Amino acid sequence: MPSKSFKLEILSLEKELYSGEAVSLNINAEDGELTILSGHAPIMAVIKKGPVKFKKIDGAEVKIDAGKGLLKMNNNQASVLI
């Protein structure tokens, strides 16, 4: 059975904001809103200023206000650089 979570890292220039498992990630990209789930196809996207929202495996929902940045999803690992 495939995993329902993926590895998520959210990094700023100053520090690591989150590193752990997540079940979903919602982000505002230049091309529109993206929802990332486990097993998502590889993607790179430019992030617009706005909230980065994700749900941890324990069900807790987290919102981080972010400026522009980049999203990379590959091999069930997402990296958000803001």
Question: Residue 59, Cβ neighbours under 10 Å: how many?
Answer: 7
Q: Is 78 helix (H, G, I), strand (E, B) or coil?
A: strand
Specify the 3-state DSSP secondary structure of 48. coil
Task: Tell me the fold of 6-81.
Answer: ATP Synthase; domain 1 (2.60.15)
Number of alpha helices (DSSP H) and beta strands (DSSP E) in the chain: 0, 8
Identify the segments of the chain with pLDDT beneath 50: 1
For residue 3, the model assigns a pLDDT of 73
pTM: 0.93
User: What's the pLDDT at 55?
Assistant: 98
